[in-house]
Amino acid sequence: MDRASRREFIRVAAAAAAVSPAALSYAPQPSLRLPRDVRVAIIGFEGHYSEILEVASANPQVKLVAVAEQNPALSKRASANRLLSEATPYEDYRQMLDKEALDIVAVCGQNHTRARIVQECADRRLAIVAEKPLAMDLEELEATRRSIAANGVRLTILLPMRFSPVYQRMRAIVQNGEIGEVVCMAAQKSYKLGERPDWMKKRATFGGIIPYIGIHMVDLMLWTSGREFVEASAFQSNVGFPAYGEMENNAAVIFKLDNQGTATVRLDYLRPAKAPTHGDDRLRLAGTKGVVEAQEANGLWLITGQKPPEQIRDLPAAGFLFADFLESVYKGKRHLISLEEIFRVNEIVLKAREAAERHTIVRV
């Protein structure tokens, strides 16, 4: 199970067992030795804020000083976590932003609130860690891009799969030329459906399966392959689960690459409850000289013209998105996800959703 899946599993397991996330332990992490303490707030407990808590748990310099959440049930559950026990709770995030002296805000609420909150944080010159997607449509995305640029603030989004040893290694294999030029990519996200909050069941507040989970695989495909996407076509729907309203439980997306190669992405919320992990992530890159592939159940495999299939067990250490971001903000390190990449991947998934909704091939 990679880290993103593990976190998702922890989140779902915690929800399913109705236990506090405080009962769960986090992966060991290096101390960051930041030049000073960092005051962090979390807005919204809908998203994967465990990314923040994991890093805070290993770094006492990361102070969780405030949290804002309108939903009392989510607030109550989060407040049981020792890392959040000192945080001042707010219902209104604007009040929190007005009152608290903050360095970084994690924007983890419902999808439809994100772009607006990110812009408000940018206006206050705060560094921002945002859930994905960053915006609900291209207009919001463009407004957010302008706001970030105008305010000159730092931004990252929760695409932690880039920090997974498997995908880091996959990218290195491509960069080393081991599979030649990438021609044909295939990715899968298959999740357990489980219970979902009401906001995920409406297009206006959720935004769709492609921006929400497709974004991980679009980002990984671009990042590992070094290629760009130029066109998209997509179908999506909810079949068999009317209680989930407008939340799609399946999608099929194809992309044309900048070298005229192709990519397919399949997304579903059909993973059976008895499956060993919450997600069944897969990514396969076929190039002119070889194929490299990661499957949740099988690990990372490489086949080239030079040698038979080989499982790649020599993997780099796992990275931590929020730790990497902190080091970029406070220690001048280059963050693994650039601003340009953040806006580009959001643009692509919104345009791919548009392809599905407008029922046409879209230039991305």
What are the helix (H) ranges across 111-230? 114-123, 138-151, 165-175, 203-206, 209, 215-225
Residue in 213, 222, 286, 326 binding a copy of itself, rule: CB under 8 A = 286
Shortest Å, Cβ 291 to a copy of itself:
6
DSSP 154: -
Q: Does 311 bind a copy of itself (CB under 8 A)?
A: no
DSSP 303: E
Q: What are 193's strand-pairing partners?
A: none
For the record, the structure tokens of 160 come out as: 């932690």
Residue in 160, 207, 211, 287 binding a copy of itself, rule: CB under 8 A = 287
Interface stretch with a copy of itself, choices 34-42, 139-147, 298-306, 344-352 (CB under 8 A)? 298-306
Torsion angle of C-alpha atoms 153, 347, 159, 259, degrees rounded to 10: -120
Nearest C-alpha neighbor of 197 from the set 308, 112, 297, 101? 112
By beta-carbon proximity to a copy of itself, the closer residue of 35 and 308 is 308
Contacts (CB under 8 A) with a copy of itself, residues 216-275: 231, 233-237, 239-241, 249-256, 259-266, 268, 270-275
Burial status of residue 22 (CB atoms within 10 A of its CB: 0-12, 13-18, 19 or more) = middle
Nearest C-alpha neighbor of 216 from the set 171, 159, 280? 159
Quote the CA–CA distance of 234 and 63 in Å, as a whole number.
Answer: 43
Contacts (CB under 8 A) with a copy of itself, residues 323-342: none
Side chain identity at 109, as an amino acid letter?
Answer: G
Number of C-beta neighbours around residue 322 at 10 A = 27
By beta-carbon proximity to a copy of itself, the closer residue of 27 and 239 is 239
Contacts (CB under 8 A) with a copy of itself, residues 184-213: 184, 186, 188, 190
Shortest Å, Cβ 131 to a copy of itself:
25
Return the half-sphere exposure (C-beta side, CA atoms, 13 A cut-off) of residue 296: 20
Question: What order of strands is seen across the sheet that includes strand 182-190?
Answer: 310-311, 299-304, 290-295, 282-287, 182-190, 262-268, 250-257, 229-237, 362-363
Q: Does 14 bind a copy of itself (CB under 8 A)?
A: no
DSSP 214: I
By beta-carbon proximity to a copy of itself, the closer residue of 36 and 274 is 274
Interface stretch with a copy of itself, choices 36-44, 69-77, 178-186, 215-223 (CB under 8 A)? 178-186
Shortest Å, Cβ 172 to a copy of itself:
18
Shortest Å, Cβ 295 to a copy of itself:
9
Q: Does 26 bind a copy of itself (CB under 8 A)?
A: no
By beta-carbon proximity to a copy of itself, the closer residue of 162 and 192 is 192
Shortest Å, Cβ 132 to a copy of itself:
22
Shortest Å, Cβ 232 to a copy of itself:
9
Contacts (CB under 8 A) with a copy of itself, residues 87-116: none
**Residues that bind a copy of itself in the complex, under the rule CB under 8 A:** 180-181, 183-184, 186, 188, 190, 231, 233-237, 239-241, 249-256, 259-266, 268, 270-276, 286-291, 297-298, 303-309, 359-361
